Chains A and B, each alone.
Chain A
Amino acid sequence: AQKITQTQPGMFVQEKEAVTLDCTYDTSDPSYGLFWYKQPSSGEMIFLIYQGSYDQQNATEGRYSLNFQKARKSANLVISASQLGDSAMYFCAMRGFSGGSNYKLTFGKGTLLTVNP
């Protein structure tokens, strides 16, 4: 079984500052992938960043980076230079690559980020 834990229901950050959104996971799969999605108030789900469990380097996509600490089973999202448009719900998710996980993404409950001007 897979489990994603996001312990921060809500976070606040000042515009132009960096913010870290926490995500811890649990899985028995030796190989897996970790994802972050953004959901603005309009409701759509937007893919942000992906990290494979065997990737040697932390993933980066523009202002987004994933701080992957495999031994701690954490996959925190770092947003640099926050913008007002970053205000949204953020979901961490994972997918195991063994037959038992059956290609499914398991989501955390989300963190609501508010960027203040």
Chain B
Amino acid sequence: DAGITQSPRHKVTETGTPVTLRCHQTENHRYMYWYRQDPGHGLRLIHYSYGVKDTDKGEVSDGYSVSRSKTEDFLLTLESATSSQTSVYFCAISESEEYGYTFGSGTRLTVV
């Protein structure tokens, strides 16, 4: 099902360049999240949003910013990509705080 889509699915970028990843949902869910997944670390929260223009930091937010100007879109920006930001990035949505997440398919980002 295409309730949540991430773009791009794969990206290779150079150190120092800005990168924006997009998460788009058609479920009208209030909550949206960005996680990164690295071997040995599980999934770690970068930023999250609890409404339009309402965002907050997660545990690994340094070097990342987010924006949510519409309910359906949540953008993650790496202002100046570094090799340590090479990772798989997952977006997730949630209907309310009492529900689990639905995840996007992930974006594999490589910073060279």
Residues of A within 8 A of B (CB): 4, 33, 35, 37, 43-45, 47, 50, 91, 93, 95, 97, 102-110
Contacts and interface: CB of A to CB of B under 8 A. Distances in A.
A50 B94 CA distance: 14
Nearest to A101: B97
A44 B43 contact: no
A107 B42 contact: yes
Majority SS at the chain A contact face: strand
Q: Is the interface of B mostly helix, strand, loop or mixed?
A: strand
Contacts of B101: 45, 47, 105
CB-CB nearest 7 A-B residue pairs = A45-B103, A103-B97, A109-B42, A107-B42, A107-B43, A35-B100, A47-B100
Contacts of A105: 33, 45, 92, 100-101
* Most chain A CB atoms below 10 A, which of B42, B56, B88, B90: B42
A91 B43 contact: yes
Contacts of A109: 40-42
Size category of the B interface is: 20 to 34
A50 B102 CA distance: 13
Interface in B16-59: 31, 33, 35, 40-45, 48, 50, 56, 58
Nearest to B31: A103
A105 B98 CA distance: 11
Contacts of B35: 107
A104 B43 CA distance: 12
A104 B48 contact: yes
A106 B40 CA distance: 15
Contacts of B85: none
Given A45-B90, A107-B42, A95 B103 contact: no
A35 B100 CA distance: 7
Given A4-B42, A33-B100, A45-B103, 14 more contacts: A35-B100, A43-B88, A45-B101, A91-B42, A95-B97, A97-B98, A102-B48, A104-B33, A104-B45, A105-B100, A106-B45, A107-B43, A108-B42, A109-B40
